[in-house]
Amino acid sequence: MFTTSLFNTLIFIPFYNSLMVLTGFVGGSVGLSVVILTVLVKSAILPLSHKSIKTQSNLRKIDPEIRKIKEKHKNNQQDQAKATMELYKMHGINPFSGCLLTLIQIPIIFGLYWVFWKGLLDIETNKAILYSFVDIPTVMNFYFLGINLVEKNITVSILAGVSQFFLMKLSMPPIKIDDKKSNETQSFSDEFKKGLSTQARYVLPVVIAVVSLNFHAVVPLYWLTSNLFSLGHELLVRRSAKKLLSQA
């Protein structure tokens, strides 16, 4: 009960009020206010996202050195972990930085999802949670780019899945396993990571597209906007990293 109250107070109610304010500000376009709110929230956690993406990029760069450590200490997990942590420290990498981002994003994602799915469909009931200085917009247009956001839409759902695929492809390149190794010498960890990467890149986008078909178009619109924002950020970080390498 306390968790629900905290979630409503800190996430759902502020997001819902923000959506009402934005909708009134943009002339009643619910779709445009959804896009703006998503971008604003993603921008707010951008510093954490940026740090996480840089960490992943750095981890990919030192992957050959990590493989050497694994090979050198393959019979001693303790020495392997110690050498790996020393390597991280040498390169200024915090491998757990992504955990904080995940912990913060989970309630935010649920909050936005709940606002866009439930909040918009029961506006009269949700009047009670509006702040004293916030009013329901006099005009609310649920059509966005010709799409009715309170109905299911296969096009937006597919686009959400496609954008997720490209985001996963960009942020999670294929795990390379040394072909010279026999099946017996290839570690379970390598095989597990390869399988997990494959599922994230190919299965997750399909799941998102299929699941989105069961919701009103406003939900996959949020997911599509979020993915496009993340794609742009990922490309920007990579471009900056290439410039730094070329100047070194």
Q: Is 150 helix (H, G, I), strand (E, B) or coil?
A: coil
Q: What are the tokens at 176?
A: 């390379």
Which residue shows structure tokens 């992943």?
A: 56
Residue-range domain boundaries for the chain: 2-247
The Cβ of residue 240 has, within 10 Å, a number of other Cβ atoms equal to 12
Q: Is the pLDDT of residue 248 over 50?
A: no
pLDDT tens-digit readout, 31-57: 999 999 999 988 887 776 666 666 666
**pLDDT reading at 194 higher than 70:** no
Q: Is the pLDDT of residue 184 over 50?
A: no
pLDDT over 70 percentage in the chain: 72
Distance (Å, rounded) from C-alpha 74 to C-alpha 180? 16
Q: Look at 6-10, 117-121, 171-175, 213-217 and tell me which has the smallest mean pLDDT.
A: 171-175
Q: Would you say residue 241 has pLDDT above 60?
A: no
User: What is the distance, to the nearest Å, from the Cα of residue 182 to the centroid of all Cα atoms in its chain?
Assistant: 36
pLDDT at 175 over 60: no
pLDDT for 82: 78
- Strand partners for 143: 148
Query: Which two tokens mark 203?
Result: 């299965």
Query: How much is the mean pLDDT over the chain?
Result: 77
pLDDT band of 116, cuts 50, 70, 90 = confident
What pLDDT, in 10s, does the model give residues 195-218? 556 666 778 888 889 988 988 898
Q: What is the DSSP string of 55-110?
A: HHHHHHHTHHHHHHHHHHTTT-HHHHHHHHHHHHHHTT--TTHHHHHHHHHHHHHH
Under the banding of pLDDT at 50, 70 and 90, the label for residue 185 is very low
Dihedral angle over CA of 180, 181, 187, 188, nearest 10: 80
Residues in the chain: 248
Q: Which residue has the higher pLDDT, 223 or 81?
A: 223
pLDDT in tens, 128-166: 888 889 888 888 899 999 999 888 999 999 999 999 999
Pure H helices in the chain: 2-7, 13-25, 30-44, 46-61, 63-72, 77-90, 97-117, 154-171, 188-198, 204-212, 218-247
